[in-house]
Amino acid sequence: MSEQTPDTGRVVASGPQKMTPSEAFVETMVANGVTDIFGIMGSAFMDAMDIFAPAGIRLIPVVHEQGAGHMADGYARVSGRHGVVIGQNGPGISNCVTAIAAAFWAHSPVVIVTPETGTMGQGLGGFQEADQLPMFREFTKYQGHVNNPKRMAEFTGRVFDRAMSEIGPTQLNIPRDYFYGEITAEIPQPQRLDRGAGGDRSLDEAAALLAKAEFPVIISGGGVVMADGVEECKALAERLGAPVVNSYLHNDSFPASHPQWCGPLGYQGSKAAMKLIAKADVVVALGSRLGPFGTLPQHGMDYWPKDAKIIQIDADHKMLGLVKKITVGICGDAKASAAALVERLAGKTLACDATTEARAADIKSEKDAWEAELDAWTHETDPFSLDMIEEQANEEGNWLHPREVLRELEKAMPEHVMVSTDIGNINSVANSYLRFEEPRSFFAPMSFGNCGYALPTIIGAKTAAPERPAVAYAGDGAWGMSMGEIMTAVRHDIPVTAVVFHNRQWGAEKKNQVDFYNRRFVAGELESESFAGIAQAMGAEGIVVEKLDEVGPALKRAVDAQMNEGKTTVIEIMCTRELGDPFRRDALSKPVRFLEKYRDYV
């Protein structure tokens, strides 16, 4: 017996039937709409891999399994469906830990399939043996271990269901000998939660607060994107006349062209957003956990409003009031909750109605001032950066100011673009310049902050949305960790564009050595061959940019090659060694030395 899956039209087994555990595993993935898996082939799951093709599943081989995990993350964040990663037991699986941790903090429904040492060899210290469940315990929402081949379909279905219901990564651990044999199994149909708006009491309390608010502000978080709730967020914002700020690294959670959009909070965020939320008497944190890194002081402003009433809305009740003290907590879907609040406010006269025009003028004024400041902020002005600019003026070559480059890239961005950013100094400064019109467009390593994220993630995003332009930003340090995945893009015709900021240093950490360690630089310098040249050696296009007026044309040329010729391009931008603000000024202390031999190291 068989039936068609509603999403892909593929045929899947129906009713109890005789099959192998491999068939049960693959058929359950078919039932969950899986069409792409990222990983490196291995003997541990080869029996199942042998039937991927007739099931309509493509295994995309990568260069390194960490890249596979990031690709699954990007795939999930763009599509809203599962991203799936698989690898050989032992080292192939341990290589994925960092990527799964990043997916955990991005709330990505990634399923990692971890074939394990066979049951008769466990505990004997055999080839590629590892205890694989503890590796991922901290970074998964659910771990399914197939303890009997007869339960293959059951556990496979459960990890796919839990990834969506818990909104995060799950693990399916399978002893390699359990792919074989003969079982009777029924393929479970996917179960998806119908999330609600939250409880009536908490929604009524929130509506009452908003009715009395004189300067309400909305934080549009990642939950708005995940719930496909941008339109509902807009409706609430327009009813309140409220400024909307993006939560940290969720710049795609509200359209930048909207007059009430004010930009992101957090590191290298928008001064307009920070100044406006500082005035709030009521804050609606819509689909945001209010993470500690996203509300830190920035630009010399401790902007979080001390006396405001906070309404926090999150699908995970454990996040409510965890970081910031709140007045009302709503455990609900961001889309449904916003719609429920709009309904409760309909037909009512609100305290803020009397000042709608004045607040709109305030929003515009703050945004205009911030844009003018960004236009004039052509380079960093701290003493170290000025020294570097002067020093490099005497070096061979032409070196560009990162802020000017980021502004030119912003202007040249195509419509419907997807952008991923790595961690690092220039990439973080990019937060000031990245603006989007639609959700599921911006991907960053979030709180985990790992290097080597941007390129593989954008490859995964491009796999899920081949019709959209895909651009990755990376500094030269982070680029060194992931640039091998250019071969994945070239080998498998997944064209992307990578912008590499070549400034020959680990900028974020070097900034700490400037501020705290009297410019004693240890292990921060990176001298490299041409990244454009390395890209060409891997079969991609390479462009070196040394003039400001070449930045925009280079991006446009690369995106055109991506969309119309199917070509991957690496744009190498030669940048000065100036440095933006540190991530956190409270993260380090001035050094104290007591031993005589270290007395000068202060």
- Distance in Å from the first CA to the final CA of the chain: 75
- Residues with Cβ < 8 Å from 354, sequence gap 6 or more? none
Average pLDDT of every residue of the chain: 95
Query: For residue 11, what is the enclosing H or E element?
Result: strand 11-13
**Hey, what are 58's tokens?**
């493509």
Beta carbons of 217 and 158 less than 8 angstroms apart? no
Local confidence band at 4 (pLDDT 50, 70, 90 cut-offs):
low
What is the pLDDT, as a whole number, of residue 10?
75
Q: Which residues contact 248 (CB under 8 A, 6 or more apart)?
A: 264, 265, 266, 267, 269, 291, 293, 294, 295, 431
Query: pLDDT at residue 6 above 70?
Result: no
By three-state DSSP, how is residue 554 classified? helix
pLDDT at 310 over 70: yes
In this prediction, residues 467-484 reach a mean pLDDT of: 96
pLDDT at res. 447:
86
Q: Is 588 or 269 the better-scoring residue by pLDDT?
A: 269
| Whether residue 371 has pLDDT greater than 70 | yes
Answer whether residue 35 shows pLDDT above 70: yes
From CA 230, how far away is CA 280, in angstroms rounded? 21
pLDDT score for 523: 86
CA distance 594 to 601: 10
**pLDDT score of 293 more than 90:** no
Prediction pTM value: 0.96
The rounded percent of the chain whose pLDDT value lies above 90 is: 86
Q: Are 422 and 451 in contact (CB under 8 A)?
A: yes
Sign of CA dihedral 377, 382, 383, 388: negative
Work out the average pLDDT over 76-95: 97
Q: How far apart are CA 564 and CA 493, in angstroms?
A: 12
40: three-class secondary structure by DSSP = coil
Task: Give whole-number Cα distances, 469 to 207, 243, 496, in Å.
Answer: 40, 29, 7
**Sign, CA torsion 173/179/181/184:** positive
- What pLDDT score was predicted for residue 524? 83
pLDDT digits (tens, 9 = 90+) for 87-96: 999 999 999 9
Q: Quick one: which of 467, 447, 479 has its CA closest to 222? A: 447
Q: Quote the CA–CA distance of 461 and 348 in Å, as a whole number.
A: 43
Of 276-285, 497-506, 575-584, the least confident: 575-584
147: confidence class by pLDDT, cuts 50, 70, 90: very high
Res 564 pLDDT > 80: yes
Question: Looking at residue 1, what is its pLDDT?
Answer: 54
Gap between the Cα atoms of 122 and 205, Å rounded: 55
Predicted pLDDT at 7: 57
C-alpha 13/C-alpha 27 separation (Å) is: 7
Model pLDDT for residues 213-245, shown as the tens digit of each residue? 999 999 999 999 999 999 999 999 999 999 999
- Banded pLDDT at 5 (limits 50, 70, 90): low
Task: Please tell me the predicted confidence (pLDDT) of residue 238.
Answer: 98
- Per-residue pLDDT at 385: 92
246 phi/psi in degrees, rounded to 5: -85, 140
Do residues 90 and 117 touch, judged by C-beta distance below 8 A?
Answer: yes
